[in-house]
Amino acid sequence: MILADAGWAREDEVASLKKQLKEMQQMMKKMAARINQLERSKATDAAKLKRVEGSVKSIQRSPSSLNPAIGMIIDSTVQQKESGGGNFSLRSAELGISASVDPFARGYAFITGSTEGVELEEAAMVTSSLPWNLTLRGGKFFADFGRLPKFHQPEIPFVNFPLSIERMVGGESVAIGAETNYLVPKIPFFLRFTAGAYNKIGEENDRVDDAVSRTWNKFTYLVRGHSYYDLTDSLSIEGGSTLSYTPEVNGNEDRSLVGVDLTFRHKPLVPGVYQGATLAGELFTNSERLEQPAGNFERQIAVGGYGYAQVDFDPGILGTWSAGFMVDSAPDIASPGKKTTSYSPYLNWWPSEFNRVRLQYTYGDDEVGEDEGESGSQVFLQWTTILGSHTHGFRNR
């Protein structure tokens, strides 16, 4: 009997131990689950903290995210044309606004006012942290076509856009759409490719109405390659090639516009009166079916372009100076055999980096007759100033 009691006591003790062990195992599982929960919460908090720190660093790098950079360019001219008379003109008062939005994007806008009214010239968003050296831009902006077409008019080296750009591109390469850039890494020179899709390209391109929907074969598509290379410490070369293609235009066949641009620059390393020189030009080829005077449609191929040379110098007093000469050949798109050729010497004076005065003489030989002012002698005096912070300013290119 005593032995039986002892056996039962051991069984009760073993059962009690097993129960305690099971409870400890359950407790350990709960503790392990709690530890995992705390670790996940810690990782989440760390990710949130990292995002906050990134935002703070972004704001520190670009205070304009909370206080956008604002500036204005005022561009005025007085002109006298042999066959068109003279007048004073406020060509534009261009308001620029730009800021970083967050660590991933920035935005900018340009609003232009003139005697013709007020216009939203650009309003776009640009990514700033996409992987694989990619950048995406969307909204209304200047498409990456050629060299000068994507410059605002006060920025170009002459008073007016070359007539070849006006007729073939449609002036400034304003477009509503989206485009992406890819910067090729790990090579000894700059190389970037652009691809884009837009309603149309060109401020004065009236082939398409931005407010009217259309099928995708009526959109305009663009590809461009752009490169820059230092030949020596003081001599560089920059070039690019662009294709703009529209599969269908106004119910007709496709339109293609090709541009090739090339720029040589010399910037001496030793300071002195001579500050550098630029030799640059662009060639355009437009191919599309157009209605002829007889009423039939024929494919017309028009070729035109411009070239210019400019020398910069600094006499040490009264700011900096530059002088240049531009030649432009602008064909009639519908009748490529007719063209307007012009020759333009010009002189620039910069009292400061925010102030520029330009005197230009142009002689035009016009066979097209689109505007009587394009023939004969033309004299321009231009005064351009920058107020506040302007994101593009004067591009001395």
Quickly state the pLDDT bin for 43 (edges 50, 70, 90).
Answer: low
Whether the predicted pLDDT of 2 surpasses 70: no
Whether the predicted pLDDT of 47 surpasses 80: no
Amino acid code (one letter) for 292: Q
SS3 279: strand
Q: pTM to 2 decimals? A: 0.81
Quickly state the pLDDT bin for 258 (edges 50, 70, 90).
Answer: very high
Residue 391 has a pLDDT of 57
Q: Distance (Å, rounded) from C-alpha 135 to C-alpha 132?
A: 9
Strand boundaries in 201-254, DSSP class E: 220-230, 235-246
Over the stretch 147-198, which tens digit does the pLDDT of each residue have? 999 999 999 999 999 999 999 999 999 999 999 999 999 999 999 999 999 9
DSSP 12-46: HHHHHHHHHHHHHHHHHHHHHHHHHHHHHHHHHHH
Quickly state the pLDDT bin for 371 (edges 50, 70, 90).
Answer: confident
Whether the predicted pLDDT of 295 surpasses 80: no
Upper half-sphere CA count for residue 255 (Cβ side, 13 Å): 26
What mean pLDDT comes out for the span 260-270? Answer: 93
Residue 3 has a pLDDT of 46
Q: Is the dihedral of CA 178, 180, 248, 207 positive or negative?
A: positive
Residue 241 has a pLDDT of 98
Whether the predicted pLDDT of 64 surpasses 60: no
What mean pLDDT comes out for the span 370-397? Answer: 80
Q: What whole-number percentage of the chain has pLDDT above 70? A: 88
Quickly state the pLDDT bin for 319 (edges 50, 70, 90).
Answer: confident
SS3 388: strand
